[in-house]
């Protein structure tokens, strides 16, 4: 029998930090978050240079991205649960330290194998950051400003996503690819120094960490992402089935082990809360839409419209740029209005934008493309911050770590599902698959908006 968590070591947590400490704590949190968010875009841009320098094939060098993602998604739930026991700030700082050290190891890598080991460790560090990011924002901001805090959180991610390719290209123009990873080291050290003094102490659960339960949860999510990714890369159907079957088996064993436990590693207790479950489901839908669009549109712009890579990059920029503008606005509104309503409106706008993209004229002008991308970015940005607030506020404070880790899990699951569905669309319809993928994204947005509006009937959200 697992030991049941009882009371927290601290009777209650203060409602946010004092303004001066809050500013420094948020600086540490957002610096690390931007670093981790930039890393994915930077790694993608660096793949050709890494393959040439390490004399490896394009197919093999893709593992530089894959091992990071697998390590992150497989450990984000256990680390979120560990944050509830050891303290969210401690997990965040350890994750940041590991991410920084692993970045240095990536810069010093002398072979593909050494780089893959370093990237795996970097993924573990990234999981430490992502798993408790939402929980720390919840405890840094007072409840009346929580929506604003998550709006700024979404702004940081959107800005890093927008600037990632540009930053990577600029660094590669000045030096070799190891510089892309080395730049994380001084930034990480600075964020650690600030975080050690300013991150809040949070309530801690008294139960012990369940290592076997963590292994089962990691196996469930790891095999699930491997299965979805394999399906999107034309892997043998037998391998896809084996991976997904293993994910189901690990998930079943994890639920059996934590049956009746108030703090299960796979947070079934949180999913019994209708507001939390609907918020998580809408998050998966929104990131599936984003995955469908971000994977299909570059192929559409380059192969159908015969645009250059530079033009394609410019066409993709308005989406995350507008997200960065809209997210703080929506975050402030969510402190006054129901996140379910705001999120539903945002997903309706996103769905309209996807329909507009799917029905682009045969020879669209730059304006035709850009204003449609702006509509999508506005809808996505209007949804994100209110939904983050709904997810975190619908979980009790002592379960903030698991709720925070679900945010990262929903994002990675949605993006992976979107990429896999896009690959399926291309496999079935060739270059016309981009239009099908965009239309499919509109369908996911419609389902997500319906679930978001349903939150109005189940409680304040």
Question: pLDDT per residue over 135-146, tens digit each?
Answer: 888 888 887 787
CATH number, domain 17-198 = 1.20.1250.20
> Given this model, what pLDDT does residue 460 score?
52
- Provide the 10 A C-beta neighbour count for residue 191: 27
> Given this model, what pLDDT does residue 459 score?
60
Higher pLDDT, 73 or 206: 73
> Given this model, what pLDDT does residue 8 score?
42
Task: Pull the structure tokens for residue 104.
Answer: 């240095």
pLDDT of 365 strictly over 60 = yes
CB 425 within 8 A of CB 434: yes
Task: Pull the structure tokens for residue 278.
Answer: 């609907």
User: pLDDT category, 346, cuts 50, 70, 90?
Assistant: very high
**How far is 345 from 368, CA to CA, in rounded Å?**
23
Closest of 360, 381, 400, 345 to residue 202, by C-alpha: 400
Average pLDDT, the chain: 83
> Given this model, what pLDDT does residue 100 score?
94
Contact residues for 439 (Cβ-Cβ < 8 A; gap 6+): 354, 355, 358
Quick one: what percent of the chain has pLDDT higher than 70? 92
* Tens of pLDDT, residues 192-222: 999 888 888 777 777 777 788 788 888 888 8
pLDDT of 291 strictly over 80 = yes
> Given this model, what pLDDT does residue 262 score?
67
Contact residues for 28 (Cβ-Cβ < 8 A; gap 6+): 191, 192, 194, 195, 198, 199
pLDDT-wise least confident of 51-60, 285-294, 331-340, 349-358: 51-60
Q: Which burial class, exposed, middle or buried, applies to 441 when counting CB atoms under 10 A from its CB (0-12, 13-18, 19+)?
A: buried
- Model confidence, pTM: 0.79
Handedness of CA 248, 250, 251, 255 (dihedral sign): positive
* Tens of pLDDT, residues 415-435: 878 877 887 888 777 777 888
> Given this model, what pLDDT does residue 93 score?
93
> Given this model, what pLDDT does residue 332 score?
85
* Tens of pLDDT, residues 4-21: 444 344 444 566 778 888
> Given this model, what pLDDT does residue 3 score?
43
pLDDT of 264 strictly over 80 = no
Q: Do domains 17-198 and 266-461 have the same CATH topology?
A: yes
pLDDT of 379 strictly over 90 = yes
Handedness of CA 346, 319, 288, 284 (dihedral sign): negative
* Tens of pLDDT, residues 211-263: 887 888 888 888 887 887 776 666 677 787 888 898 889 888 888 887 766 67
The most confident of 65-74, 258-267, 376-385, 419-428, by mean pLDDT: 376-385
* Tens of pLDDT, residues 95-137: 999 999 999 999 999 888 999 999 999 999 988 888 888 888 8
Only one residue has tokens 């506005």, namely 378
**How far is 429 from 325, CA to CA, in rounded Å?**
36
Quick one: average pLDDT of 434-445?
92
pLDDT of 36 strictly over 90 = no
> Given this model, what pLDDT does residue 7 score?
38
Fold adopted by 266-461: Growth Hormone; Chain: A; (1.20.1250)
Residue ranges of domains in the chain: 17-198, 211-257, 266-461
pLDDT of 376 strictly over 90 = yes
CB 22 within 8 A of CB 145: no
> Given this model, what pLDDT does residue 41 score?
67
Only one residue has tokens 């839409």, namely 289
> Given this model, what pLDDT does residue 82 score?
86
């Amino acid at each position: 029998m697992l030991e049941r968590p009882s009371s927290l070591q601290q009777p209650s947590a203060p409602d946010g930090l004092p303004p001066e400490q809050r500013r420094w704590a948020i600086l540490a949190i957002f610096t690390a978050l931007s670093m981790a968010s930039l890393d994915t875009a930077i790694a993608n841009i660096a793949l050709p240079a890494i393959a040439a320098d390490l004399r490896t094939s394009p197919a093999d060098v893709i593992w530089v991205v894959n091992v990071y993602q697998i390590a992150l998604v497989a450990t984000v739930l256990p680390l979120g649960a560990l944050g509830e026991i050891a303290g969210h700030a401690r997990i965040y700082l350890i994750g940041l330290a590991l991410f920084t050290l692993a970045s240095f190891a990536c810069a010093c890598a002398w072979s593909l194998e050494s780089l893959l080991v370093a990237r795996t460790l970097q993924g573990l560090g990234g999981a430490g950051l992502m798993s408790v990011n939402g929980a720390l924002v919840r405890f840094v901001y007072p409840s009346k400003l929580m929506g604003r805090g998550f709006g700024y959180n979404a702004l940081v991610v959107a800005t890093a996503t927008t600037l990632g390719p540009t930053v990577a290209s600029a660094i590669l123009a000045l030096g070799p690819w190891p510089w892309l990873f080395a730049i994380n080291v001084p930034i990480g050290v600075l964020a650690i120094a600030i975080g050690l003094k300013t991150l809040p102490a949070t309530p801690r659960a008294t139960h012990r960490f369940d290592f076997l339960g963590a292994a089962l949860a990691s196996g469930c999510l790891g095999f699930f992402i491997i299965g979805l990714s394999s399906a999107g890369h034309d892997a043998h159907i037998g391998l896809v089935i084996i991976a997904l079957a293993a994910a189901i088996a690990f998930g079943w064993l994890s639920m059996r082990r934590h049956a009746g436990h108030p703090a299960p590693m796979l947070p079934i207790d949180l999913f019994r809360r209708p507001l939390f479950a609907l918020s998580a489901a809408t998050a998966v839908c929104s990131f599936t839409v984003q995955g469908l669009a971000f994977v299909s549109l570059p192929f559409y712009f380059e192969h159908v419209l015969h645009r250059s890579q530079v033009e394609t990059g410019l066409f993709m920029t308005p989406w995350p740029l507008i997200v960065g503008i809209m997210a703080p606005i929506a975050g402030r509104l969510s402190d006054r209005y129901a996140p379910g309503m705001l999120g539903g409106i945002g997903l309706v706008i996103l769905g309209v934008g996807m329909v507009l993209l799917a029905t682009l004229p045969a020879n669209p002008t730059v304006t035709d493309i850009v204003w449609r991308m702006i509509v999508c970015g506005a809808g996505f940005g209007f949804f994100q911050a209110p939904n983050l607030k709904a997810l975190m506020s619908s979980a009790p404070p002592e379960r903030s770590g698991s709720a925070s880790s679900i945010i990262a899990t929903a994002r990675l699951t949605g993006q992976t599902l979107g990429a896999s569905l896009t690959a399926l669309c291309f496999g079935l319809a060739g270059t016309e698959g981009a239009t099908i993928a965009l239309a499919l994204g509109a369908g996911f947005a419609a389902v997500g908006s319906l679930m978001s509006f349903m939150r109005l009937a189940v409680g304040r959200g």
